């Protein structure tokens, strides 16, 4: 099952449970707009290379499209459609006034120079700028895109429209309109949700061990934040593999080793293993912070964790969901767990619009309130419908999206015929 098919299946399951209006489901099952572009870029060696890029705008029922863009060799339209769709639900779960969008370019950013990446980023802006803007579609960093690239993006867009527009993109450096707390937001938001869930269920942090798959931005900060809260970190991994130590590891030492030696697998903090092996190691909490479809029907039964926190997008397949539910594994789903990133992006956008910037204490307080409110609303729907937390999350989002659709009149419009005046 593809990532997009998996997303649609999750939507259909929850829609059936809540008896959602079929026309609302139909409306939200397809993106509003899909753009595929060719991006010719002059490389450092003088050759011309043409990259394929995408921007998908899923729904603007509750506000401007919002979603990152990624640079990755395996970027494809199916993936971008799924991510754009999930962004609509993620923003609705968080209760922030955005719809969903997503973009990407098929490239290997690791093998490109800074100059090549800047030219590619500016070319991407030139190709999509007519359908984006601070009140229409607001991109952000994602896999292998950085705050520096967001600065180039903002600069190129401002040049094209002949007006300084810091709010066209979020995740920028502080010096050009970025927000404090944006870099750690995804991990911090997930930590707030996990902490609140454990408090509500009388679970002690110091009694619980954690494995984190993925050591990029979200995974690295998650390891540091959870370690600081008192969780025992037993294992971490990056794209080259992982390490595991049942006595615990120090994520700060692992990060230092990764920077010096190129991979967490080179660290002496634990014994090296594959990413696949790490998912099956003994732990209480498994944090998925890598890519989609990491836990599937092939390995779900081997997962020993009792709580899964999805900091990545779509890391658990629909089939794995069913297997894990039978094992009473609690999954804190991606559209809640990793919504801290888009929430602080929203804060950045608000600050850009107002020209007034908040201290970190205010940002963290606002983020925690939104994450905890989102969890409690999901738990309410979960209890009402006797369903999983993922199904409760989709129901929570559908509830807001359905109301917005009907209030705006699109539902009625679907049933009407349009007559031309003679």
**The two three-digit tokens of residue 184, written as one number:** 């750690």
What separation, in Å, do the N-terminal and C-terminal C-alpha atoms of the chain show?
49
Spatial CA neighbour of 331 closest among 391, 275, 398, 289 = 391
What SS3 state is found at 7?
A: helix
Number of H helices, E strands in the chain: 15, 13
Q: Which of 66, 90, 102, 368 is catalytic?
A: 102
Q: What 3 state SS string does 293-361 have?
A: CCECCCCHHHCCCCEEEECCCCCECHHHHHHHHHCCCEEECHHHHCCHHHHHHHHHHHHHHHCCCCCHH
Give the separation between CA 70 and CA 145, rounded to whole angstroms. 6
Instruction: Categorise residue 363: left if φ over 0, alpha if ψ from -120 to 50, beta otherwise.
Output: alpha
Closest listed residue to residue 276, CA positions, set 258, 312, 302: 302
Determine phi and psi for 98, rounding to 5 degrees: -135, 160
Beta bridge partners of 34: 56
Which element (helix H / strand E) includes 252? helix 251-261
HSE-CB at 248 with a 13 A cutoff on CA atoms is 13
Classify residue 48 by burial, with Cβ atoms within 10 Å: 0-12, 13-18, 19+.
Answer: exposed
Q: What are phi and psi of 21, to 5 degrees?
A: -55, 120
For this structure, is 49 an active site residue?
no
Contact 220, 251 (CB under 8 A): yes
**Phi, psi (degrees; rounded to nearest 5) at 101:** -145, 165
DSSP H/E element including 272: strand 271-273
Q: Please name the residue that has the structure tokens 């603007």.
A: 60
Handedness of CA 74, 216, 347, 395 (dihedral sign): positive
Residues with catalytic function: 102
């Amino acid at each position: 099952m593809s990532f997009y098919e998996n997303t649609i299946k999750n939507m259909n399951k929850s829609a059936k449970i809540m008896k959602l209006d079929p026309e609302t489901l139909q409306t939200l099952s397809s993106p509003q707009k899909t753009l595929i572009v060719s991006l010719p870029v002059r490389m450092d060696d003088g050759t011309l290379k043409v990259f394929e890029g995408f921007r998908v705008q899923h729904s603007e029922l509750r506000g401007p499209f919002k979603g990152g863009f990624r640079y990755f060799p395996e970027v494809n339209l199916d993936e971008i459609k799924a991510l754009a769709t999930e962004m609509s639900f993620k923003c609705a779960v968080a209760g922030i006034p955005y719809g969903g969008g997503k973009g990407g370019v098929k490239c290997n950013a690791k093998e490109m120079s800074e100059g090549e990446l800047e030219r590619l980023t500016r070319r991407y802006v030139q190709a999509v700028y007519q359908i984006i803007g601070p009140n229409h579609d607001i991109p952000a960093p994602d896999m292998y895109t950085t705050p520096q690239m967001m600065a180039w993006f903002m600069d190129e867009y401002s040049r094209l429209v002949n007006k300084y527009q810091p709010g066209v993109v979020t995740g920028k450096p502080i010096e050009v309109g970025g927000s404090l707390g944006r870099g750690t937001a995804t991990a911090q938001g997930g930590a707030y949700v996990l902490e609140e869930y454990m408090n509500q269920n009388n679970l002690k942090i110091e009694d619980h061990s954690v494995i984190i798959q993925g050591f990029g931005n979200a995974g690295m900060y998650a390891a540091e934040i959870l370690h600081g809260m008192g969780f025992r970190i037993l294992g971490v991994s990056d794209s080259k593999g992982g390490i595991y130590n049942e006595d615990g590891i120090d994520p700060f030492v692992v990060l230092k080793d990764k920077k010096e030696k190129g991979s967490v697998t080179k660290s002496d903090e634990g014994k090296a293993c594959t990413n696949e092996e790490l998912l099956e190691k003994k732990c209480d909490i498994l944090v998925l912070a890598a890519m989609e479809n990491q836990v599937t029907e092939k390995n779900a039964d081997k997962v020993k964790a009792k709580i899964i926190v999805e900091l990545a997008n779509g890391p658990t397949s629909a089939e794995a969901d069913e297997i894990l539910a039978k094992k009473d594994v609690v999954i804190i789903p991606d559209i809640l767990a990793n919504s801290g990133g888009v929430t602080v992006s929203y804060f950045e956008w608000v600050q850009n619009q107002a020209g007034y910037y908040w201290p970190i204490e205010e940002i963290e307080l606002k983020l925690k309130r939104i994450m905890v409110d989102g969890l409690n609303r999901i738990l309410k729907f979960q209890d009402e419908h006797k369903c999983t937390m993922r199904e409760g999350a989709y129901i929570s989002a559908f509830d807001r999206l359905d109301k917005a659709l009907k209030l705006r009149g699109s539902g009625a419009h679907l049933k009407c015929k349009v007559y031309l005046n003679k």
